[in-house]
Structure 1
Amino acid sequence: MATIFERWDSAKTALINPWNVIEEKPDFPEVCITTFSADMIDRLAESRDGKKIAELCSANGNLPVYEIRYGGKRIAVFLSRVGAPACAAGLEEIIAMGAKKIVMFGCCGVLNQSAVQDKIIVPVSAVRDEGTSYHYMPASEEIHAETSSVNILKNSLKKCGMSYVTGKTWTTDAVYRETQSVIEERREQGCLAVEMECSAALAVTQFRKIPFVQFLYGADHLHADRWEQRDLAEYGIRNFKKYMQLAFECALAL
């Protein structure tokens, strides 16, 4: 396994690069917002007269990229696919189109209910329990968010009047292999949450030198002996306006 996860190739170009398959779009918005809820993207595009300006194409189907205006600024918005590899590919392609700064948010599983209750989670680092990030950054147990990006998020949270908690998240590839022993190990490491993309998104954006802000909100709970689905089925749509307001304020501040 060391030949896979510890043998990082620092070459900036690969055999196939995003710019080989994605055409750069003239006048593409500088800042892009992405999330994982299709309902949120659809509702945003409809409520703010989103204009379709591009598509991300794959065998899973095409994902529209919309342009939204907020605070006098043009902002691109698109749906990220769930899971580190698919999410990373989408980020690579949106950067190739012309995005220079990115805001990402999504739901997560809660590992520490008392710390997270009714708060936005500000990930300052992520445990790299996925494979994608190891192709972008040297091997390490964790990857850290840029301090400047964390500060932008904190300031935006204060501006929006939202409570938050800072801490570590656990990024895993295997949603159905979150065993009790591993969950307890991650809690002991200080992880507040578990999700599937954070460490990979940090690695891609740091590798490409793209300013990047991301925040999480709790959905299902893994803090007890039994899994509790809670709000997982709706993926945060109930608080759609709250999360989008925060994302837009981060986009303006980036």
Structure 2
Amino acid sequence: MSSENLAHHLHLRAEDVGRYALLPNCPEHVAPIAALLDDPEFVARNREFETWRGTLGGERVIVTSTGVGAPSTALAVEELAALGVETMIRVGASGSMLPDVVNGELAVLTSAIRDEGTTKQYLPVEFPAIADIEVVLALREAAERAGVPFRCGTAHTKDSYYGETETDRMPMAATLKERFETWRRGGAVCSEMESAAVFVVGTVLKVRTGSVVLMWSQDAIDNGPAPSIEPLFATAVDAVRTLVATGTRSGAAAPSAVGA
């Protein structure tokens, strides 16, 4: 924390937050998610980090953008945990890795492949990036209630967007293609840039974490159209509502995972 207990990057104080946070990477998604809360209001903005807050079931819930990628996401998780947030859910978009994914299908992520650099400065790569089981179940139940297509599974978290989408022009094209095919054949459902950081940093800091992402199908990535983002936002908010209603809290033990 900096002077006056202001978080250095987020520009938040402990009194600004509650126990729950939703984490889109895009600042433009913060206000629309917050609009689904009761009594939403703007709190702060600095760099890529914008925060709004509201309530659900009498509990304060904040929505903070993390920016794109693991480094800035780790900053957000670190500072929110230091301020007292106990449960954090990434809310974002991803590219599908499986051919049968419907455009706009949701993925409730149970784990992530640590194909990025940030989390290696927290724990050895052999340590898994896993979501908290209570958060996973709340997200799954919310998706079921919303009636949207979804699946639970593992994400591929990477550092280079264009390394995936424009692989052929990369000096390491052959290696990147081989690795991507390895993740796909192993059963990874989507590729994105933040979930491994949320899971690993959350594990280290003893906070509950989860992630729900909207998947673009392979055809839509190349040709469009963009899927609707509203079911993603509604599912994430409804999951927090469930967690608030059950009254469960982050404990002293590290988060546990549920299988795909």
- Which letter does structure 1 place at the counterpart of 2:89? V
TM-score (norm 2): 0.75
1:132 aligns with 2:118: yes
What residue number does 1:188 align with? Answer: 185
- Which letter does structure 1 place at the counterpart of 2:207? I
What residue number does 2:229 align with? Answer: 239
What residue number does 1:207 align with? Answer: 204
1:52 aligns with 2:38: no
What residue number does 2:75 align with? Answer: 89
State the alpha-carbon separation in 1 of the partners of residues 157 and 48 from structure 2. 26
What does 1:147-162 align with in structure 2 at a 5 Å threshold? Answer: 147-162=133-148
What residue number does 1:14 align with? Answer: none
Unaligned runs of 5+ in 2: 165-175, 244-260
Identify which range, 86-95 or 202-211, moves more after superposition: 86-95
What does 1:1-254 align with in structure 2 at a 5 Å threshold? Answer: 21=8, 24-26=13-15, 28-45=17-34, 50-55=40-45, 57=46, 61=47, 63-140=49-126, 142-178=128-164, 179-219=176-216, 221=218, 228=222, 230-231=224-225, 238-240=228-230, 242-254=231-243
Shift of 1:118: 4.5
Percent identity, please.
22
Deviations 1:184-234 (A, max 9, x none): 1221121111111111110011111111121111136289xxx61535xx6
State the alpha-carbon separation in 2 of the partners of residues 172 and 132 from structure 1. 10
Q: Do the aligned partners of 2:138 and 2:240 also contact (CA within 8 Å) in 1?
A: no
Across the aligned residues of Structure 1 and Structure 2, the Cα RMSD in angstroms comes to 2.8
Deviations 1:113-151 (A, max 9, x none): 304554211222211100111222232174232333222
How many pairs were matched up? 225
Inter-CA distance 172–44: structure 2 relative to 1 (3 Å threshold): closer
What residue number does 2:251 align with? Answer: none
Inter-CA distance 229–196: structure 2 relative to 1 (3 Å threshold): farther
State the alpha-carbon separation in 2 of the partners of residues 19 and 95 from structure 1. 13
TM-score (norm 1): 0.76
Q: Do the aligned partners of 1:52 and 1:65 also contact (CA within 8 Å) in 2?
A: yes
State the alpha-carbon separation in 1 of the partners of residues 121 and 102 from structure 2. 31
Q: Do the aligned partners of 1:80 and 1:90 also contact (CA within 8 Å) in 2?
A: yes
Shift of 1:35: 0.6
